[in-house]
Amino acid sequence: MLEVQRVTLLSQAVLLACLGLMMSAVEAEGATLRVERDGSGDFLTIQPAIDAAAEGDTILIGPGRYAEMAPGPFGEPTVGYVDVDDLTIIGVSRDDVIVGPQVPNFQNFGPNGFRQGIAGRKIAFRELTIENVFDGLSVLGDVDIRDCVLQKCSIGINAEADMEIVSTTFLGNEFGIVVSSAPGLGEIGSSVVACTFTLNSRAVYSWNHDLLVRDCQFVQDRDGVRQSGGKTATLQTCTFDCTNVAAQAGLTSRLVLNNCQFSAGAAGNVVLTTEAHLSGSGNRIGAGAVSTMTFTERATADFHGNDILFGDGLAIDLKIYSAQVAVNLGNNFWGTTDLVLLEEKIHHKPDSTIMDNIRTEVTYQPILNQSVPTAKQSMGGFRALFGRH
């Protein structure tokens, strides 16, 4: 009998412990606050829901346009200013939940979509369209963005933090993404995965911040990805159809290209300036109108196993006046095996006899006799994807 009582007490203790763990898990998940235009939720607009939220809460936003503004920390009108940690904001559908006015009217760095101004705090966004505001999302804390649309903003996402951006569309912005690392912030780096950039003046600008851009499409943006101020931008299995410069690095940054496709027609597809370094393989870089690739101001390269093509413009335009810089482009396919023609298409001759002894040379031999297979479709298929004939 005593043994039975001991077993029963033990079972009760285990049950109570399990219930305690379940209650803790429920509490850890946080509350869900609903914003509904028809009055069926907890709030009619977004800012009161944010003000009522606690750490770990989720705000669900129903269909409608949300353009009501409240003063931000510097008085700028903002749809939602967030100061709570670990908040998730979810729309029912990015087609049905629109944040921002119907037409843009930028004044004094506003109005804005969402602002999060406290470093080290987390915030997540899902299934929202943010449009016609100065900053769509302006964040200092770590941010996770998925299945959203940022369109017709001055800056779609403006961050000094680590970001994870997945399956998000950037359309018609002045800047799609601007990300940097302030002291103590953004030390891990950011990833942009399976996103589409279309008709932005500048799609992605990264300053002193490690960046991975993978499986993204850039369609008729003026400029694609620019890395500056140090750190590394890695572009992997992306397609670029830009009108000016597709990928650029400067100020001691590193640009790594792997298995990317660059359509012909940009002024220059790849540009390296000011001690930047280029590496990578498996890329197909279409002809640039001016030059396919440009190296200036002590930029360097170890870039092998790629297709580097040219048309009427130059294949390589080298503007580096230093005998100490190495631009190694051997073991690439150039679309020709004619070394005389290739020499004409690589501009590394001195502009004057005075510079003759200090002008850097491009190492482009040995050359490959056939195109390098890539992880993406052929250039013909890539052009067909965007309706080019």
- Spacing of C-alpha 54 from chain mean position: 30
Percent of the chain with pLDDT over 70: 83
pTM equals 0.87
| Bridge partners for 159 per DSSP | 139, 179
The verdict on residue 295 lying in a domain is yes
Amino acid at site 58 = T
The verdict on residue 141 lying in a domain is yes
The verdict on residue 194 lying in a domain is yes
SS3 state at 26: helix
The verdict on residue 273 lying in a domain is yes
The verdict on residue 203 lying in a domain is yes
The verdict on residue 67 lying in a domain is no
Going by pLDDT thresholds of 50, 70 and 90, the confidence category of residue 13 is: very low
Q: Token pair 């209650």 is at which residue?
A: 23
Cα–Cα dist 223/246, whole Å: 5
Q: What does the pLDDT look like over 46-64, one tens digit per residue?
A: 999 999 999 999 999 999 9
Q: What does the pLDDT look like over 121-167, one tens digit per residue?
A: 999 999 999 999 999 999 998 999 999 999 999 999 999 989 999 99
Range of the domain at 288: 81-91+110-385
The verdict on residue 43 lying in a domain is no
The verdict on residue 65 lying in a domain is no
What number is the average pLDDT over the span 80-105? 96
- State the Cα torsion 57-59-60-61 to the nearest 10°: 180
Number of domains in the chain: 1
- Spacing of C-alpha 359 from chain mean position: 35
- Spacing of C-alpha 157 from chain mean position: 9
Cα–Cα dist 206/338, whole Å: 39
SS3 state at 56: coil
Q: What does the pLDDT look like over 255-296, one tens digit per residue?
A: 999 999 999 988 899 999 999 999 999 999 999 999 999 998
Going by pLDDT thresholds of 50, 70 and 90, the confidence category of residue 186 is: low
| Predicted local distance difference test score (pLDDT) of residue 74 | 77
What number is the average pLDDT over the span 159-177? 96
